[in-house]
Amino acid sequence: MKQNEIFRSLSDYTAKAVAHYWQTRGTQRRKQEEGNKADQGLRSAVTGGAQMDGFIDLFTKLITNAGIPGNSIFRKKAVELPGFFRPTKEWDLLVVRERTLIAAIEAKSQVGPSFGNNFNNRTEEAIGSALDLWTAFREKAYLESPQPFLGYFFMLEDCEASNRPVGVQEPHFKVFPEFVGASYMRRYELFCRKLVLERHYTASAFITSSSHDGLNGVFETPSDDLSIERFAKVLVAHVATFA
């Protein structure tokens, strides 16, 4: 399949990945409940890695159609990279060809109801992973690799709780004005944008989807600069130089 054909159908591919996410999450929860572990159902749905497979499939398709052979793309196995502050870090997708690190991608999501604690965990995790990788890159952990593509993809549940304005505590100093009264959806949008603005990640994409409509592949893109189309174009432009 030609690359331009994939780009024309990118919305459809994304919709299929969204539907796969919600279907897989529902299956994982039902299995937990049938196993008399209903209290662990939410955690199972959170930790099930297969949920994001549809998105990883899409990124893999984009990379292979850019001319990178399949044996240079790693997912689920051999996805560890050496870090600077820790021995290794597992990525959701790696592209390594002829001992050259070409790309590393994180694909994450969050559903309710615990948006507060999970937001803090997600932001700290993403920033820490980027700092660890770029510091290791500076120290030649990836040999003579040129600067790799570092991508961050995030999908958030679109629900009442994620759209509700959230207060902030300012006992000593004022928070930045964009955070005042911002919902978790707005906070994630700001976060993904700032990851690229501050050059922690080469590109970032942010989409939202509800648990009901998402089963049919329905999703929204809150901001054009964080669209999966822009993410895909930056990714393809980078990996194609190594084809």
Report the distance separating Cα 7 and Cα 102, nearest Å.
Answer: 21
CB 215 within 8 A of CB 24: no
Q: What is the pLDDT of residue 49?
A: 65
- pLDDT for 37: 54
Separation CA 232–CA 203 (nearest Å): 9
Task: Give 23-74 as a DSSP string.
Answer: HHHHHHHHHHHHTT-GGGHHHHHHH-GGGGHHHHHHHHHHHHHTT--GGGEE
- Position 107 scores a pLDDT of 97
Give the separation between CA 207 and CA 217, rounded to whole angstroms. 12
What is the pLDDT, as a whole number, of residue 93? 98
pLDDT tens, N- to C-terminus, the chain (243 residues): 667 788 889 999 999 999 999 999 988 888 877 775 544 444 444 445 689 999 999 999 999 999 999 999 999 999 999 999 999 999 999 999 999 999 999 999 999 888 988 999 999 999 999 999 999 999 999 999 999 999 999 999 999 999 999 999 999 999 999 999 999 999 999 999 999 999 999 999 999 999 999 999 999 999 999 999 999 999 999 999 999
Which residues share a beta bridge with 81? 89
Distance CA(116)–CA(228), nearest Å, equals 25
